[in-house]
Amino acid sequence: MEITGKITGIKYKLFLTNELKQIDARKFNINNVPTACIIKDGKHSFAISKWVSPKRTRSYPYERVYNTLNTSKKITVIPIVKDEGAAGNRDFLQWDTISLMSLLDVYVIFAYYNKADRVENKINNQQFDNKYVLQKIREIKEYHSSALHWNINELKTNFHTILKNVVLSYGQIEKKTKVPLHGIKGLQNFQDKIGADVSLFMEFSRGKALKAQAREFSTRQPKENLTTFSKAKITITNYLGGNYFFTVDEIIVTKEKLFLLEGKHSVKALLPSKGDIKDGLLKMILYCNLVETKVDEKEIECRPILELTSTKLVGQITSNSSETEISDFFSGNAFNEGQKQTIKKLFQETKSNNFKVNIKHESLHRL
């Protein structure tokens, strides 16, 4: 099954963003500022977020990016490689990350660490090269094309230089901390995957996407005349014709509609964390802006759904539930005021952007 769609622009109203602290550019140090903030530089201001790893599952980088999306010019700082030492993990930047940031019109600063401390047999407290980050912020300040153009251009013209800085900096960190790091061969392989331009990087990601798609699980339910797939793939085309490959937690296909479900689950709490919820909302932003959605070349109506489940919840509600049903659900689960406000704002976001939220015990069938 092939699912495709196009995004020609992003229109979306946000309700769950945090108020961001403002930082004077003259006092800015990427290593000391909050995970998302506003940097003021004279008449110019930018929203900036930072990742602690290129692998998004290591923290909640999507939450940080989400919190910056109300600002016209958005920047995110991502390490292209993070090496914790030979006894720990080494993560690399993925094309899917660049794809998502580009579609959301977020400028990416592909960064590297140049300082770290030793903690037992690993390195910790890794710090970005702040001078380099500031240099890139100034370049973006003067850059008048889209984030997509910036991100692709940085990959084409600057990525190999950054990778050389990674090798040099980690060599110095290894020497200073006396912590053995992963070998240079992995970095060379990573560089080879990117190639002289972004084509090999994209093809490498496409290959991974197709392999994952081949492993997807499907069930057919003839009585309901629908098909469900878990971990299905969708190919999104931007206004320049570039293709991006994303994984959807679950899809449901009927004769007339395609439902794209993003799921977040909690075992110990009534609700998934705000970080998890905003992670899901970032995908909703994409899915709400899809046009010309097709399944196997046949155009079909697309309906995004964010599903929040928990082992602790009693019953279920949706963003279409009545005020009485929502009130009863709040009472039955003894939600505190903060949890109630999160759900109310979340439902505001759904109604303003035309998608649905389900909140339920994990074992219940959907309403």
Residues 332, 338: Cα–Cα separation, whole Å? 16
Domain count, the chain: 2
- Is 211 a domain residue? no
- What would the mean pLDDT of 299-324 be, rounded to a whole number? 96
Both 237 and 198 in a single domain?
no
Same domain, 131 and 199: yes
**Mean pLDDT across the stretch 209-235?**
56
Domain-located, residue 367: no
State yes or no: pLDDT of 132 exceeds 70: yes
Q: Do residues 19 and 151 share a domain?
A: yes
- Residue 29 pLDDT more than 80? yes
CA pair distance 242, 239, nearest whole angstrom = 7
- Tell which of 157, 181, 206 closes a domain: 206
Q: Cβ contacts of residue 199 below 8 Å, gap of 6+?
A: none
Does the pLDDT of residue 354 top 50, yes or no?
Answer: yes
Question: Residues 15, 348: contact at Cβ < 8 Å?
Answer: yes
Instruction: Note whether 357 and 347 are within 8 A (CB).
Output: yes
pLDDT value at residue 68: 97
Same domain assignment for residues 107 and 199: yes
Q: Are residues 255 and 177 in the same domain?
A: no
- Residue holding tokens 């290593």? 31
Nearest to 28 by CA among 50, 51, 7: 50
Residues 28 and 113 grouped into a single domain: yes
Domain containing 298 equals 216-361
Same domain, 182 and 275: no
Q: What integer pLDDT is reported at residue 260 of this predicted model?
A: 95
Same domain flag for 56 and 169: yes
- What's the pLDDT band for 221 if we cut at 50, 70, 90? very low
Residue 91's contacts (CB-CB under 8 Å, 6 or more residues apart) are: 53, 54, 55, 58, 81, 82
Looking at residue 247, its pLDDT comes to 84
**Structure-block tokens of residue 171:** 């060599």
Section 276-291 average pLDDT: 95
Same domain flag for 15 and 40: yes
Question: What would the mean pLDDT of 236-255 be, rounded to a whole number?
Answer: 83
What pLDDT is stored for residue 59 in this prediction? Answer: 78
What is the reported pTM? 0.90
Picking from 34, 73, 16, 44, the residue whose alpha carbon sits closest to that of residue 277 is 16
Average of per-residue pLDDT values in the chain: 88
> Do 176 and 50 belong together in one domain?
yes
Q: Is residue 366 part of a domain?
A: no
Mean pLDDT, range 319-326, rounded to an integer: 96
Whole-angstrom distance, CA of residue 130 vs CA of residue 277: 31
Does 27 share its domain with 161?
A: yes
